[in-house]
Amino acid sequence: MNIIRRHLLGGAAAALAASPAVAQGWAPTRPIRFVVPFAAGGATDVVARVVADRMAERLGQPVVVENRAGSGGNIGVENVVRAPADGSVILMGTTGTLTINQHLYGNMGFDPAKDLAPVGMAFATDHVLIVNPNVPAQTAQEFLAWLRANPGKASFGSAGSGSSTHMVAELFRAASKVEVTHVPYRGSAPALNDTVAGNVQFMLDQLPSAIGQIQGGRVKALATTGPKRTSQLPDVPTMAEIGLPNAEATSWGAIMVPAGTPAPVIARLNAVLNEALADPKIQERLKAAGADAVSSSPEELQRKIAQETETWGAVVRDARITVN
């Protein structure tokens, strides 16, 4: 089951949003806070910083990335929900914060569907199964055999309970029928650091945050979760290729603003965002980091969020996933 299919959005609506008439509307009068609801160094943070640089150039004001981690991203999201609805604060929302957390947390204090407004998609990325070099396995098949021979002894790290790195690992666990222990962290970066250190044995990290450690030989990449092999790791097989098609999944990120933000502000932000994502240089920077640039109109993003909120709700219920 492909839980999240990479959705290349855009088309006429996005092109209209990027037209000069719309693009010359609202302009910020002070620096913009760009809240990333996870620790610095993770995939969401990496992409946000690439996009922020170009948006700042076009908007004429600094776009300052601010990391506010905790509670599966809810702390950062709530910070944006409570912020002025005037374009001065934007959020890099994710699969987890926009479509999963509401099924896991009984009382978040906000409703992402009602308290946030969509600006546009930003990126999509595969996850990669990485293991500490001391794990006695050189291939995914050897790793699976080792896990099955040692039930309950291996642990995996995630960016937090209910995060995409947790949910994708749960899919892997269910598809491979292995017994492993989940260790949640406050973001992908600390979970990755502990995978490198061997405090946890493996992780299904997003490719942008893991690629440097993979290339540096500090972790071993055994499989990726996308529908096809990634150009960053052409020798690494997909989950389907190792016999686990039900572990296929893709994560994504999108820019959101507080509900009530005026339409001209959203249109301007969408135009600048889509212009940045259409730039071949930005696309190459994201690709080098392991992510694909994905653009959309606010309306397309709204529909995507609604669809995947339903999809992930079913996954949470079926797998009986709870917040630790």
pLDDT in tens, 238-249: 999 999 998 998
* Confidence grade of residue 114 (pLDDT, cut at 50, 70, 90): very high
Q: Is 86 within the bounds of a domain?
A: yes
Q: For residues 202 and 218, give the distance between their C-alpha atoms in angstroms, rounded to a whole number.
A: 12
Q: For residues 254 and 274, give the distance between their C-alpha atoms in angstroms, rounded to a whole number.
A: 11
Query: Which of 219, 247, 275 is the C-terminal boundary of a domain?
Result: 247
Segment 139-180, tens digit of pLDDT = 999 999 999 999 999 999 998 877 889 889 988 998 999 999
Structure confidence at residue 321 (pLDDT): 80
Query: Which of 193, 221, 247 is the C-terminal boundary of a domain?
Result: 247
Number of domains the chain contains? 2
Q: Is the pLDDT of residue 10 over 80?
A: no
Structure confidence at residue 6 (pLDDT): 40
Per the document, the length of the chain is 324
Q: Is the pLDDT of residue 39 over 90?
A: no
Q: Is the pLDDT of residue 1 over 60?
A: no
161-171 b/e with 16+ CB inside 10 Å = b?
bbbbbbbbbbb
- 10 Å CB burial of residue 70 (0-12, 13-18, 19+) is middle
Structure confidence at residue 324 (pLDDT): 53
164, 241: one domain? yes
Q: What is the CATH number of the domain that holds 52?
A: 3.40.190.150
* Confidence grade of residue 24 (pLDDT, cut at 50, 70, 90): low
19, 114: one domain? yes
Which residue has better confidence, 147 or 6? 147
187: domain range? Answer: 126-247
Which residue has better confidence, 46 or 272? 272
Structure confidence at residue 23 (pLDDT): 44
240, 256: one domain? no
Q: Is 286 within the bounds of a domain?
A: yes
116, 163: one domain? no
Q: Is 7 within the bounds of a domain?
A: no
- What share of the chain in percent tops pLDDT 70? 92
Query: Which of 194, 214, 247 is the C-terminal boundary of a domain?
Result: 247
117, 132: one domain? no
Question: Cβ(268)–Cβ(25) under 8 Å?
Answer: yes
Q: Is 1 within the bounds of a domain?
A: no
Q: Is 77 within the bounds of a domain?
A: yes
Mean pLDDT of the chain: 89
255, 243: one domain? no
148, 233: one domain? yes
Q: Is 6 within the bounds of a domain?
A: no
Average pLDDT (38-65) is 93
Q: For residues 159 and 175, give the distance between their C-alpha atoms in angstroms, rounded to a whole number.
A: 21
Structure confidence at residue 90 (pLDDT): 98
317, 271, 15, 300: which is closest to 167 by C-alpha?
Answer: 317
Segment 187-219, tens digit of pLDDT = 888 999 999 999 999 999 989 889 999 999 999
The number of CA neighbours under 13 Å toward the Cβ of 116 is 33
* Confidence grade of residue 53 (pLDDT, cut at 50, 70, 90): very high
Q: What is the CATH number of the domain that holds 185?
A: 3.40.190.10
